[in-house]
């Protein structure tokens, strides 16, 4: 069976779905690996390095994809790429529940089996497949470096002959994978770090990284599966007051509350930003979903009353070599789960396969995607 990796076409996407390290793992499954020429250049993986690892190079997307049983990508294909996918092939990529109805129907029309990384269940058996977490970790790291670069002051405490320079104060909103990596990075740079999350269960993780956990003395806000539940009006009011105070005291604020396929919750209001000191920076990792800050403009950097708000998208792609290495390992693990003896073995009774298989046999299996596709019939 042929496994193909075409060049990514999404704007500013520098990652690739395989790496020189992952190709031998794929070959060990009994498949051949074909990569479009130039697909790894932006991530620092030359054609020669990929070929030396065992991949065959293809001159263009059509020849790369022709006859493929499995197609591995980072971003989902666009409408122009779908006709190039072999009918009945299996696609392994990010495919959010917010994907366009036109794309979902086009994939169904070619009887593509789509395995979505957004739908991989968060169970111990699937940890090595969790691309959302691997890429979020890179995003949290990059967000702090971007913020530090844009600050007009240094991060660590310094005691010099010219006097003592106090450390920068960093506030991280959300203590998931991205938030914890942001905390760790800011601490390594010498900042004083505070973190806030509505889930009290993450308190010990935050403190273990040397940060202060900011909490409200109200009812726990954790629902089923470790996710935050719907919050009471009393809690929301207290939350806004507490966050507002901490935001205004911080030099750098990193917001990380992104919800795949849904709009990002607003945590930092216009009034909070107006209370921040000039020269402060806010990096919004949830910009793709509209942003955690009311003044975030997705894809842009803006300055409001002297405060720089960074809403750039796809931070992992800015660290393309490392993020591709991590993503390629996630891809290889998923393929090892799906491929047996060199052939695709799709067992929908398996918990991981069943949950992550968004489309199969011309039907949309994920409920949110199915509702979007049906609701989008006839719409432009």
Mind listing the pLDDT tens digit for each residue in 205-248?
A: 999 999 999 987 655 445 444 444 456 677 777 888 889 999 99
Helical residues (DSSP H) of 193-232, grouped into ranges: 203-208
Q: Which among 133, 137, 181, 325 is annotated as catalytic?
A: 133
Residue 304 CB neighbour total at 10 angstroms = 14
pLDDT at site 379: 43
pLDDT digit of tens for each residue in the chain (380 aa)? 999 999 999 999 999 999 999 999 999 999 999 999 999 999 999 999 999 999 999 999 999 999 999 999 999 999 999 999 999 999 999 999 999 999 999 999 999 999 999 999 999 999 999 999 999 999 999 999 999 999 999 999 999 999 999 999 999 999 999 999 999 999 999 999 999 998 888 999 999 999 999 987 655 445 444 444 456 677 777 888 889 999 999 999 999 998 877 889 999 999 999 999 999 999 999 999 999 999 999 999 999 999 999 999 999 999 999 999 999 999 999 999 999 999 999 999 999 999 999 999 999 999 999 998 887 554 43
> 374, 363 in Cβ contact below 8 A?
no
What is the Cα–Cα distance from 93 to 131, expressed in whole angstroms? 9
Q: Where do the domains of the chain lie, and which CATH numbers do they carry?
A: 2-130+321-375 (3.40.50.720), 137-313 (3.40.50.720)
Q: What is the pLDDT of residues 100-145, one digit of tens each?
A: 999 999 999 999 999 999 999 999 999 999 999 999 999 999 999 9
Report the half-sphere exposure of 300 (CA within 13 A, side-chain side). 8
The yes-or-no answer on residue 133 being catalytic is yes
CA distance 323 to 16: 9
Instruction: Check 93, 116, 130, 365 and give the catalytic one.
Output: 130
Annotated catalytic residue within 127, 158, 232, 245: 127
SS3 labels along 117-159: HHHCCCCHHHHHHCHHHHHHHHHHHHHHHHHHHHCCCCCCCEE
Q: Among positive and negative, which fits the CA dihedral 267, 273, 276, 281?
A: positive
**For this structure, is 158 an active site residue?**
no
From 46, 48, 60, 122, active-site residue? 122
Look up 284 and say whether it is catalytic. Answer: no
Q: Does the annotation count 80 as an active-site position?
A: no
* Catalytic site includes residue 227: yes
Task: List the catalytic residue out of 48, 227, 245, 262.
Answer: 227
> What pTM did the predictor assign?
0.91
């Amino acid at each position: 069976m042929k496994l193909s990796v075409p060049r990514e076409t999404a704007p500013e996407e520098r990652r690739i779905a395989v790496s020189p390290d992952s190709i031998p793992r794929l070959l060990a499954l009994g498949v051949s690996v074909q990569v479009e020429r130039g697909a790894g250049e932006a991530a620092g993986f030359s054609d020669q390095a990929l070929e030396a690892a065992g991949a065959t190079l293809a001159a263009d997307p059509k020849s790369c994809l022709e006859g493929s049983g499995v197609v591995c990508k980072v971003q989902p294909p666009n409408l122009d790429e779908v006709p190039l996918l072999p009918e009945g092939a299996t696609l392994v990529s990010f495919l959010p529940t917010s994907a366009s109805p036109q794309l979902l129907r086009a994939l169904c029309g070619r009887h593509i089996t789509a395995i979505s990384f957004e739908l991989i269940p968060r169970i111990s058996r699937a940890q090595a497949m969790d691309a959302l977490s691997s890429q979020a970790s890179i995003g949290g790291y990059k967000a702090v470096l971007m913020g530090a670069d844009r600050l007009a002051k240094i991060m660590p405490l310094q005691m010099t002959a010219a006097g003592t320079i106090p450390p920068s104060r960093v506030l991280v909103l959300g203590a998931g994978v991205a938030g914890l990596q942001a905390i760790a990075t800011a601490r390594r740079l010498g900042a004083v770090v505070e973190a806030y999350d509505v889930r009290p269960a993450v308190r010990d993780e935050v403190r273990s990284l040397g940060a202060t956990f900011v909490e409200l003395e109200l009812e726990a806000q954790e629902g089923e599966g470790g996710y935050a539940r719907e919050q009471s009006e009393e809690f929301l009011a207290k939350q806004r007051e507490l966050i507002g105070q901490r935001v205004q005291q911080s030099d750098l604020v990193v917001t990380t509350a992104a919800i795949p396929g849904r709009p990002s919750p607003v945590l930092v209001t216009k009034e909070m930003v107006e209370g921040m000191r000039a020269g402060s920076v806010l990096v919004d990792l949830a910009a793709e979903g509209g942003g955690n800050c009311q003044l975030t403009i997705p894809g842009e950097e803006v300055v409001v009353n002297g405060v720089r708000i960074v809403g750039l998208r796809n931070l992992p792609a800015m660290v393309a070599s490392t993020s591709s290495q991590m993503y390629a390992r996630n891809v290889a693990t998923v393929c090892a789960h799906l491929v047996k003896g060199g052939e695709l073995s799709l067992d929908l009774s398996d918990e991981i396969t069943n949950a992550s298989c968004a489309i199969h046999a011309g039907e949309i299996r994920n409920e949110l995607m199915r509702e979007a596709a049906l609701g989008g019939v006839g719409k432009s």
